[in-house]
Amino acid sequence: MKKILSTLILSLLLSISIANSWAADLPEIIRRGKLIVAVKNNTRPLGFSDDTQQLQGLEIDIARRLAQQLLGNPEAIILKPVNNQERLQTVIDGKVDLVIARVTINPSRAQLVNFSPAYYLDGTGLVTKNPNIQGLTALSTAKIAILKSSSTIAVIRSELPKAELIGVNSYQEALTLLEAGVVEAFAGDNSILAGWVQENSEYHQLPVRLSGEGLGVVMPKGAKYASLRGKVNEAIVRWQRSGWLAQRAKYWGLP
């Protein structure tokens, strides 16, 4: 009897623990008075800490505007910095209400979470230090640094089949090769390259987008969160149509 009772108590505690880990629905967020959002703090110009350690960027603007939309106050928000590996899991585990942290919308992720319409169209781009390189033609046979095992490889091979691709393990390694003149350009995501140029003014970004990957707000699955998803989706579509998203992207130097 004691064993059965202990099992029942353990099951009850486990159920309570799981229930408490669920993300909050819209009525609960309103009662709480705070929107909890996972963001990046090291991805300029989407989400980064400025010189005063304040979070800034396009995605921070979107998070605050959603707080205004849902709670009537852009400061009614808790911003939680996360790394790439944590992004989806934080909303799945109910640690945050939303994730706005440079998450690309794709079918495999959409099986785990829900996405808003895209708030920014990212894609493959190129950055160089050579002022004479202003377009793809100048890179047709050039040496181009590219992250190993990235999807960018296929895009560049398609666009520049005669270019020599040099694999690197990090953006810092690519910068080292560029500074040494070993490569003439680096291929990566336009949003990341925009931040690169902002931090390294001697470089410039080519005016190209060689692929298109939408970035979306990550939201929990389940009927319980339908009203939250509806409000977020309506807001993103409205901001697209009004031009606000495009204006903020331009403000932050995004192509």
Which pLDDT belongs to residue 63?
98
Tell me how far the alpha carbon of residue 39 is from its chain's centroid: 8
Fold of 20-121+216-251: D-Maltodextrin-Binding Protein; domain 2 (3.40.190)
pLDDT tens sequence across 68-120: 999 999 999 999 999 999 999 999 999 999 999 999 999 999 999 999 999 99
Ranges of the chain whose pLDDT falls below 50: 1-22
Start-end of CATH 3.40.190.10 domains in the chain? 20-121+216-251, 124-205
User: What pLDDT, on the 0 to 100 scale, is given for residue 24?
Assistant: 86
Sign of CA dihedral 72, 75, 78, 84: positive
Task: Look at the alpha carbons of 158, 164, 170, 176 in this order and tell me if their dihedral is positive or negative.
Answer: negative
pLDDT at 12: 37
CATH topology of domain 124-205: D-Maltodextrin-Binding Protein; domain 2 (3.40.190)
